[in-house]
Amino acid sequence: MRQQFSYSKKVLKHFRSPHNLGKIKDADGVGEVGNLSCGDVMKLYLKVKDGVILDVKFQTYGCAAAIATSSITTDLVKGKTIDEALAMTNKEVIESLDGLPPIKIHCSLLSVDALNEAIYDYLNKNNKKIPEFLEKKHQRSVTLEKMEGHGA
């Protein structure tokens, strides 16, 4: 039986016409997260200069909520500093979309996790200090990937 729920107008708008869709070839940071068992996979690319996110793009394979949360996340972080982007929460993503059905809230977690992984990648590549909380999130992501059979 198919579950019925409704999306806000903002979710549908971002799903139908996603912002910042695509790939940055020479990205300063790339984050990839997902869960193939539920079908959502997200890749986020950052271009950073002087600690500010100048450009951000994403590629997402998933449901309307996954695509919409990816799109709004890129809008929210463009022009922000790395520290400001790290402070972003899934609650902020959900509120920016005027809400998500409870069964789709995990999609907002994916977009924030992809952002965190891209920032981790950027900091790591540039030999910058990685905050302890970000290191823990990264380790948890790597552990989950291996448990699900996606890791090396």
Cite the active site residues: 38, 107
**Alpha carbon distance 33, 28 (integer Å):** 17
**What residue type is assigned to position 68 of the chain?**
A
User: Which three-class secondary structure state does DSSP give residue 1?
Assistant: coil
- Tokens coding 5: 């729920």
39/63 Cα distance (integer angstroms) = 8
Q: Which of 67, 3, 11 is nearest to 34 (CA)?
A: 67
